[in-house]
Structure 1
Amino acid sequence: MKNRTESTENLGICSREACRKHFTPDTLLLEYDKPIHFVQSQFECGRNYYIVWRVSWAIYHVACVIGTGILMKNNDGGTDARWFIYLTNWSYTMLTLDTLLQFIAIIYVNKRREDIIYDACSQMPWFLKAIWCIYNVSNCSALVVTLLYWSLLQDVSFGNIVVHLLNGVYVVVNMPLTAIPVRIYHFYQLMIFGTAYVMFSYVYETAGGIGYNDEKYIYPQMAWKYPEIAITYSVLGVFVAIPVCHAFFFLMYWTRVTVYERNLQRTVAVIDSETAAAIKRSDKSITTTRTESC
């Protein structure tokens, strides 16, 4: 049991060594020596239960993204392609892609990559790197969309609750359950996503594009005919809201792993004490037997 105890003592995410590892330049990359964490729950609730969790949300989000796209009609009653111009739908598409790819990855790894399942692989395969990036972007963008929508627009309807509230609730609830890590320096991925949308909105509006109700902008806060206001909201969104939300998820990850490791240490301590007691009873029994034989 000595080796097992030592391994848990070295896990502490709050240790000085762990803190240094989280803030090294290497964490900018998509390298990780435990690929198994991308296909299991943090608290090891059971492989089948986790698969059910993943497939349920994949089905739900796919249905929602298809439903919102179909329900958005143009003046002729057909499906409106302007569905694709909104940040909400960019974010929800990423969220749907994330849940779908995670489900596919779990099935694939369980069927074809036993080295990952049995924790015998320390190299991140390319498809898990892609999922990690999408996971980072979808988490933060969902929370940013939820916060911005209910602080700026606040139009209450069933559809808006689905794509502007439940998306944020999902990513917050999912974070404590999954074992996927969060790297503090990965906020650059989200800033690239945010910057891409800002550039798209500028090009779309200046090219004569119109919003769903034929407005000459996508969002009133980002109407580029008022560049000072549009730039202000864009800078606040990309350089303030995104890093803050990513820091929030990093703290959730930090807390999740800390709770897991402390529970693991308690479990190992209990097992050690029970093992020591069993050995003592065994030694006592052997001593008694020898005494009686003499």
Structure 2
Amino acid sequence: MDTSRPCTKDEYKVKNFLLDYHSPRDFVIFQHCGTTLPYLVWRVFWALYHLIWIILTGVYSWQWAGDDPEQQVKWFIFLTEWCFFVLTVSTLVDAACVIFINFCRVDIKNDITNEMTWYLKANWVIFNAANSAALVVTLAYWGLVYTGGSVTVVDVITHGINAVYVIVNVIVSSVPIRIYHFFHGVIFGVVYAVFTVIYYAAGGTNHQDKAYIYPVLDWNSPGLTLAYCVAVIFVAMPLCHFLIYGIYALRRCTCRKHTSQSYAV
């Protein structure tokens, strides 16, 4: 398990911008469990859960787009779907890594190597981006987009349960969080912002045939829209990552206390 100490001078070393880590086994176990099998079950469950729901978000797109298939297919333009998609990819890649390591990388499973493989590094980047994006889209939806009215099951799943999952997963897993890795989420946000500009320039419309995806992303008013983008990408996204880092720091403090009590007994 991760025995590093967050909130120390070591955390702020430049090397922590990178994806090196001393114990890759922490990516395949629970925080307070030394065996990998329970974590494998956890990962497979959430991978299947998110895979099913990303499909259902398309199936139930008629709930907000109406009966016109040409409008229903526009589910892919929304930040909600981008964030839920990257969260789904994160859970699938995470599950694939855990399965592969359990059966093919016994050295990582048994914590006898410190090799951070390329697939664990890729998993870590997606994990960081997906976590920040999930919290941002939840806060942005309820704070900027939702104006009242009925709420569907898909709304709850993609703007509520997603954030709950992220927080719980950070609490129970041993996956480390690096404070400098906030830029993974920022890159994701920049990519989506660029997409909205390209979509607008190409004449794309939302499901109501408006010349924007969200009212707050109306590039007919570039100054205000750019301000929203900057606020979300360069302020909200890092803040959400720092919140996740805070949860991680509390998790580590609890773990150290638990370990110290165990030694005392």
CA–CA distance in 1 between the matches of 2:45 and 2:201?
Answer: 41
After TM superposition, the score normalised by the length of structure 2 is: 0.92
The 5-angstrom pairing of residues 168-247 of structure 1 reads 168-247=163-242
Larger Rg: 1
Cα deviation per residue 1:125-144 (whole Å; 9 max; x = unaligned)?
00000000000000000000
Displacement of 1:199 in angstroms is 1.1
List structure 1 segments (4+ residues) > 4 angstroms apart after TM superposition.
73-76
**1:65 aligns to what?**
54
Question: Any conservation in 2 of the 1:221–1:233 contact (CA below 8 Å)?
Answer: yes
Question: Any conservation in 2 of the 1:69–1:79 contact (CA below 8 Å)?
Answer: no
**2:19 aligns to what?**
30
The alignment status of 1:159 with 2:157, answered yes or no, reads no
Question: Any conservation in 2 of the 1:71–1:79 contact (CA below 8 Å)?
Answer: no
Q: Which amino acid aligns with 2:33?
A: E
**Residues 148 and 45 of structure 1: CA distance in aligned 2, closer, same or farther (over 3 Å):** farther
Cα deviation per residue 1:139-167 (whole Å; 9 max; x = unaligned)?
00000000010111225222211111111
Cα deviation per residue 1:221-254 (whole Å; 9 max; x = unaligned)?
0100011220111011011101110100111111
Question: Any conservation in 2 of the 1:98–1:138 contact (CA below 8 Å)?
Answer: yes
Displacement of 1:117 in angstroms is 0.9
CA–CA distance in 1 between the matches of 2:4 and 2:76?
Answer: 44
Question: Any conservation in 2 of the 1:224–1:230 contact (CA below 8 Å)?
Answer: yes
Question: Any conservation in 1 of the 2:138–2:160 contact (CA below 8 Å)?
Answer: yes
After TM superposition, the score normalised by the length of structure 1 is: 0.83
Question: Any conservation in 1 of the 2:133–2:185 contact (CA below 8 Å)?
Answer: yes
Question: Any conservation in 2 of the 1:217–1:223 contact (CA below 8 Å)?
Answer: yes
Question: Any conservation in 1 of the 2:128–2:181 contact (CA below 8 Å)?
Answer: yes
Q: Which runs of 5+ in 1 are unaligned?
A: 1-7, 271-294
Q: Which runs of 5+ in 2 are unaligned?
A: none
CA–CA distance in 1 between the matches of 2:258 and 2:99?
Answer: 28
Question: Any conservation in 2 of the 1:144–1:245 contact (CA below 8 Å)?
Answer: yes
Displacement of 1:181 in angstroms is 0.5
**1:279 aligns to what?**
none
The alignment status of 1:49 with 2:49, answered yes or no, reads no
CA–CA distance in 2 between the matches of 1:77 and 1:87?
Answer: 20
The 5-angstrom pairing of residues 270-289 of structure 1 reads 270=265
Among candidates 104, 108, 127, match of residue 119 of structure 2: 127
Q: Which amino acid aligns with 2:187?
A: I
Q: Which amino acid aligns with 2:134?
A: A
Displacement of 1:203 in angstroms is 1.3
CA–CA distance in 2 between the matches of 1:228 and 1:79?
Answer: 28
Cα deviation per residue 1:238-283 (whole Å; 9 max; x = unaligned)?
111011101001111111011101111111121xxxxxxxxxxxxx
The alignment status of 1:86 with 2:78, answered yes or no, reads yes
Please state whether the residue corresponding to 1:176 is helix, strand or coil: helix
Cα deviation per residue 1:155-194 (whole Å; 9 max; x = unaligned)?
5222211111111111011111111001011111111111
Question: Any conservation in 1 of the 2:71–2:207 contact (CA below 8 Å)?
Answer: no
**Residues 150 and 76 of structure 1: CA distance in aligned 2, closer, same or farther (over 3 Å):** closer
- Number of residue pairs matched? 258
CA–CA distance in 2 between the matches of 1:62 and 1:179?
Answer: 23
**1:107 aligns to what?**
99
Displacement of 1:77 in angstroms is 3.5
Among candidates 144, 149, 166, match of residue 141 of structure 2: 149
Please state whether the residue corresponding to 1:259 is helix, strand or coil: helix
**Residues 49 and 68 of structure 1: CA distance in aligned 2, closer, same or farther (over 3 Å):** same
CA–CA distance in 2 between the matches of 1:79 and 1:30?
Answer: 41
Question: Any conservation in 1 of the 2:137–2:159 contact (CA below 8 Å)?
Answer: yes
Determine what percentage of the aligned residue pairs are the same residue: 37
Cα RMSD, aligned residues only: 1.8
Q: Which amino acid aligns with 1:41?
A: F
